[in-house]
Chain A
Amino acid sequence: MSGTMTIKLKVWRQAGPKAPGKFEEYTATDVSPESSFLEMLDVVNDKLALEGKDPIAFDHDCREGICGMCGMMINGVAHGPSKLTTTCQLHMRSFKDGDSITLEPWRAKAFPVIRDLIVDRSAIDRIIQAGGFISVATGSPQDANALPIAKPDADEAMDAAACIGCGACVAACPNASVSLFTAAKISHLGLLPQGQPERYRRALSMVAQMDLEGFGGCTLFGECMAACPKGISIDFIKRMNGDYIWGAISERPEKITLGSG
């Protein structure tokens, strides 16, 4: 084990959605390289609290990279420098003694700041509401093995389903597009036989909802895939576009869309 580190932090502070925000500087001392990034922030916050100052607000919960609650821009990179890693799984051994780190919230029109590094991601729930499900009521299904699914299809569906809904794809995208998230759900369900009856209707509705929420369009920069802590492939966006186009040319009148907010 190496010695402890001193880290300079520049953190976006904003008291509320309408309040003006600004950067403030803090110094984290005696940081163990074994500690996680959020544990380093915990120590900074403890110190602020004892000084009677408002600690830095940030979302987090499971701290094992699966709930999707955490996420911030770390030196301009969503979830920081380690590939395939959420903010909570980032460890201080990825930094050096004396490093300066700038922390900002996800920046996107559809993700308004609530406080400091916390943003409102309810838009992604509404995209799911628009069609990110299979309409099956409790109690109605057949036996689970009555429907064989080829392993490659099941595996690919699982690759898409691994999305944790953190929003890093939006934060990383120059257009603030949510296409990777939406495409992952459209692909997860669309790759499975259970998802076929609603496949094209789902693509139309979820894409329409992304637009309603104010996310930008996808121009295939690929930044989303680079930032995604779960390695969701941009190929799913191609799949979404295919489903959308097929849905649009064969559109039937039952297309549903929801209002924003």
Chain B
Amino acid sequence: MKLDSKIPTGPIAEKWDKHRFEMKLVNPANKRKYHVIVVGSGLAGASAAASMSELGYNVSCFAFQDSPRRAHSIAAQGGINGAKNYRNDGDSIQRLFYDTVKGGDFRAREANVFRLAQVSVDIIDQCVAQGVPFAREYGGLLANRSFGGAQVSRTFYARGQTGQQLLLGAYQALEKEIARGGVKMYNRHEMLELVTINGVARGIVTRNLVTGAVEAHVADAVVLGTGGYGNVFYLSTNAQGCNATAIYRAYKKGAAFANPCYTQIHPTCIPVAGEHQSKLTLMSESLRNDGRVWVPKKREDVGKKPSEIPEEDRDYYLERKYPSYGNLAPRDISSRAAKEACDDGRGVGPGGRGVYLDFADSITRLGAKEIAERYGNLFEMYQRITDENPYEVPMRIYPASHYTMGGLWVDYNLMSTIPGLHVIGEANFSDHGANRLGASALMQGLADGYFVLPYTIGHYLASNKFEKVTTDHPEFRAAVDAVQQRTSRLLGINGKRTADSFHRALGKIMWEHCGMARNEAGLKQALREIPAVREEFWQNLTVPGSGDTLNQQLEKAGRVADFLEFGELMCLDALHREESCGGHFREEYQEAGEAKRNDDAFCYVAAWEYTGDTSAPVLNKEPLEFENVHLATRSYK
């Protein structure tokens, strides 16, 4: 497999402009002759579908929920970065670029990150024009706040519901295009197979989740905006339906999977409370603007009420270890520090897996009203879940799986190793390296959908000839058969365990051995345990009901089946990467408790190529070059 990143030549600040000029265009009258499929309707998918339709392309958009407005982008709380420098505090495109490359621990592609920082300013303009009600100052101008890993205030926000408001903006643009006839929306449809003809992506096969009908859809290009794979851990901050099936199916059809081991464990989530728990809830990183993280200094104090522990017996460990960033240290570093404190026996709450996030000082300084103004809905959510009032007692938080930086490999045009298959948003790998900074996921999803893909897709379509195909083509028929067979197989096992119980078992293995800290022995053990769970899955699964009606257990079983294969790929990648970088922390490679990269041996993107169910995937490497931000040890001290 040849990995050609297609990075334009020239100085980094000119690459995107130059490339935009060099790309071929499709003339306005011809655009409607092309049909593009977009799978997923989150920030990336909805913005891409709407923007391409506005340009004149024929678009079909697919979502497994009942409406595009449900996509999990809606749950993003804290904000979106934009290098506007409205605060006059020294921000610039260059600085957002630098922060993102450094924040990603030098494992992202420079040219992509620079473009992301460039278009970040356009995103804010676009969203305001759509009516996104961002927070404002009394003077009527936009407000900002700070996020982890940055020393400037560049984050725009809409209370604690920024993702909701940005998604509704994209959703409304999408609905506008649906009404105009430019987009045909398929709600409650799940993509279960990618169809390639002569190695080129030409369509998908879906299951109608209401009727069970398996349907084939032909297109000239396919775009996946299907999100990340954080639910491989079972417990995560992702929605229940989030899954890896679309990207994993594409991987099995020849799309390289890049850096699957780069997962983000978010430091501020509500800790696990019981064994029937189905998900973990995030408390926005923005809370760390005004909350102070601490644990007791002494182990014997962990059972005490926080109010009984005097100031001098508290360890504000982030402020102590990282004085210049303090409580706004990046996510990977903050998560590991929380784990370290708990491993040291100083964790608080049930099971000792929790640390305090304390607002007492800020409430004294700013007043409870101001804190309510900034974080009211988050405080309410916390109280609803834990039955504790965070205005009176500190929140208890613990890290949880939240975002995945790895994803399908894409070139500068956001095209995977399968011609015609484009991948956007969290589903691709390109911009965040080994760790994503806060408020950058919304930025990347919308950058890809509004401002990158609508250009690059035209170049692809104008550069290629498309033979007319129909769903009668043998490849389409084979893909439909494959989906039907897999469905029948899942329904026909008639065993004694639910899909959920296998998912839970996989999640435990992944969290234990491929979570916040990893080591060779643990990863090897996981690689022995996962195939055993998978084998039992295919012998002992039970899925009640049939395939020709709405069947939520069947949907779940299909997703778990893919996670059971994908988890192994993740561990394999984690095992091969014998260094620590960002969210990938190998215990063997550290220096004074901090991640120790090995740039000589691992300064590359690991792009895995599927070779068959019984043979090992092949590792392909895209070397990473840092010409603008020089490789250095990442320090937030």
A contact set with B: CB distance below 8 Å:
15-16, 32, 34-36, 38-40, 42-43, 45-46, 48-50, 52-55, 57, 59-69, 82, 84-85, 89, 91, 93, 114-115, 118, 120-122, 124-125, 128-130, 132-145, 147-151, 154-155, 157-158, 161-162, 164-165, 188-189, 192, 194-195, 258
Q: Do B172 and A134 touch across chains, with their CB atoms under 8 A apart?
A: yes
Q: Do B549 and A42 touch across chains, with their CB atoms under 8 A apart?
A: no
User: Within 8 Å of chain A (Cβ to Cβ): is B545?
Assistant: yes
Q: Do B136 and A149 touch across chains, with their CB atoms under 8 A apart?
A: yes
Q: Do A61 and B129 touch across chains, with their CB atoms under 8 A apart?
A: no
Contacts of A57 on B, CB cut-off 8 Å?
550, 552
Contacts of A55 on B, CB cut-off 8 Å?
544, 552-553
User: What are 12 A-B contacts defined by CB distance under 8 Å?
Assistant: A34-B274, A38-B278, A66-B164, A84-B380, A115-B210, A115-B550, A122-B67, A128-B171, A130-B179, A150-B140, A154-B134, A155-B133
Q: Please give me the 9 A-B residue pairs with the lowest Cβ-Cβ distance, nearest first.
A: A148-B140, A141-B129, A133-B172, A129-B179, A158-B133, A144-B128, A138-B51, A61-B239, A62-B239
A160 to B135, CA, bound (A): 14
Contacts of A194 on B, CB cut-off 8 Å?
128-131
Q: Which residue of B lies closest to A1 (CB)?
A: B350
Q: Which residue of A lies closest to B139 (CB)?
A: A148
Residue of B131, B178, B549 with most partner-chain A CB within 10 A:
B131
Contacts of A151 on B, CB cut-off 8 Å?
136-138, 140
Given A125-B175, A133-B172, A60 contacting B240 (CB threshold 8 A): yes
A258 to B173, CA, bound (A): 17
Q: Which residue of B lies closest to A38 (CB)?
A: B278
Contacts of B315 on A, CB cut-off 8 Å?
none
A136 to B122, CA, bound (A): 13
User: Within 8 Å of chain A (Cβ to Cβ): is B72?
Assistant: yes
Cβ 8 A contact of A147, one of B126, B128, B171, B381? B128
Cβ 8 A contact of B69, one of A52, A60, A68? A68
Cβ 8 A contact of A62, one of B72, B130, B549? B72
A36 to B130, CA, bound (A): 36
Cβ 8 A contact of A136, one of B129, B142, B178, B500? B129
Given A32-B274, A35-B276, A50 contacting B542 (CB threshold 8 A): yes
User: Within 8 Å of chain A (Cβ to Cβ): is B498?
Assistant: yes
Q: Which residue of B lies closest to A192 (CB)?
A: B131
Q: Do B498 and A161 touch across chains, with their CB atoms under 8 A apart?
A: no
User: Nearest Cβ in chain B — how far from A132, in angstroms?
Assistant: 6
Contacts of A189 on B, CB cut-off 8 Å?
131
Contacts of A34 on B, CB cut-off 8 Å?
273-274
Interface residues of B in 269-290 (CB under 8 A from A): 273-274, 276-279, 281-282
Q: Do B66 and A121 touch across chains, with their CB atoms under 8 A apart?
A: yes
User: Within 8 Å of chain A (Cβ to Cβ): is B303?
Assistant: no
User: Within 8 Å of chain A (Cβ to Cβ): is B297?
Assistant: no
Cβ 8 A contact of A139, one of B122, B163, B239, B385? B122
User: Within 8 Å of chain A (Cβ to Cβ): is B472?
Assistant: no
Q: Which residue of B lies closest to A40 (CB)?
A: B276
Cβ 8 A contact of A63, one of B126, B279, B501, B542? B279
Q: Which residue of B lies closest to A116 (CB)?
A: B550
Q: Which residue of A lies closest to B242 (CB)?
A: A61
Q: Do A165 and B69 touch across chains, with their CB atoms under 8 A apart?
A: yes
Q: Which residue of A lies closest to B140 (CB)?
A: A148
Interface residues of B in 159-205 (CB under 8 A from A): 159, 161, 163-165, 168, 171-173, 175-176, 178-179, 185, 187
Residue of A63, A66, A118 with most partner-chain B CB within 10 A:
A66
User: Nearest Cβ in chain A — how far from B21, in angstroms?
Assistant: 16
Bits for B312-330, please: 1 = Cβ < 8 Å to A, else 0. Answer: 0000000000000000000
A86 to B373, CA, bound (A): 22
Contacts of B500 on A, CB cut-off 8 Å?
42, 46
Q: Do A144 and B84 touch across chains, with their CB atoms under 8 A apart?
A: yes
User: Nearest Cβ in chain A — how far from B250, in angstroms?
Assistant: 23
Cβ 8 A contact of B168, one of A46, A84, A161? A161
Q: Do B172 and A39 touch across chains, with their CB atoms under 8 A apart?
A: no
Q: Do A134 and B384 touch across chains, with their CB atoms under 8 A apart?
A: no
A121 to B550, CA, bound (A): 16
A85 to B377, CA, bound (A): 11
A120 to B135, CA, bound (A): 34
Given A128-B172, A194-B128, A118 contacting B550 (CB threshold 8 A): yes
A5 to B74, CA, bound (A): 34
User: Nearest Cβ in chain B — how far from A42, in angstroms?
Assistant: 6
Contacts of A64 on B, CB cut-off 8 Å?
75, 237, 279, 281-282, 381
A226 to B89, CA, bound (A): 44
Q: Do B178 and A158 touch across chains, with their CB atoms under 8 A apart?
A: no
A139 to B136, CA, bound (A): 23
A157 to B124, CA, bound (A): 18
Q: Which residue of B lies closest to A17 (CB)?
A: B210
Contacts of A65 on B, CB cut-off 8 Å?
381, 384
Q: Do B553 and A157 touch across chains, with their CB atoms under 8 A apart?
A: no
Q: Which residue of B lies closest to A90 (CB)?
A: B384
A161 to B380, CA, bound (A): 18
Q: Do A89 and B384 touch across chains, with their CB atoms under 8 A apart?
A: yes
Q: Do B274 and A35 touch across chains, with their CB atoms under 8 A apart?
A: yes
Q: Do A61 and B241 touch across chains, with their CB atoms under 8 A apart?
A: yes
A53 to B551, CA, bound (A): 12
Contacts of B69 on A, CB cut-off 8 Å?
67-68, 125, 165
A201 to B165, CA, bound (A): 23
Cβ 8 A contact of B210, one of A48, A93, A114, A148? A114
Given A38-B278, A89-B384, A139-B126, A133 contacting B173 (CB threshold 8 A): yes
Q: Do B210 and A133 touch across chains, with their CB atoms under 8 A apart?
A: no
Q: Do B131 and A138 touch across chains, with their CB atoms under 8 A apart?
A: no
User: Nearest Cβ in chain A — how far from B446, in angstroms?
Assistant: 10
A124 to B172, CA, bound (A): 12
Bits for B198-221, please: 1 = Cβ < 8 Å to A, else 0. Answer: 000000000000100000000000
A143 to B128, CA, bound (A): 9
Given A138-B450, A154-B134, A122 contacting B66 (CB threshold 8 A): yes
Q: Do B175 and A138 touch across chains, with their CB atoms under 8 A apart?
A: no
User: Within 8 Å of chain A (Cβ to Cβ): is B158?
Assistant: yes
Residue of B128, B163, B164, B171 with most partner-chain A CB within 10 A:
B128
Q: Do B498 and A50 touch across chains, with their CB atoms under 8 A apart?
A: yes
Q: Do A42 and B67 touch across chains, with their CB atoms under 8 A apart?
A: no
Cβ 8 A contact of B542, one of A52, A85, A149? A52
A39 to B274, CA, bound (A): 11
Known: A68-B69, A158-B133; 18 extra A-B contacts, CB below 8 A, are A42-B500, A46-B500, A48-B544, A62-B75, A63-B239, A63-B279, A66-B75, A125-B69, A139-B126, A144-B124, A150-B136, A151-B138, A157-B131, A158-B165, A164-B164, A189-B131, A192-B131, A258-B179
User: Nearest Cβ in chain B — how far from A152, in angstroms?
Assistant: 9
Q: Which residue of A lies closest to B173 (CB)?
A: A133
Contacts of B175 on A, CB cut-off 8 Å?
125, 128-129, 132-133
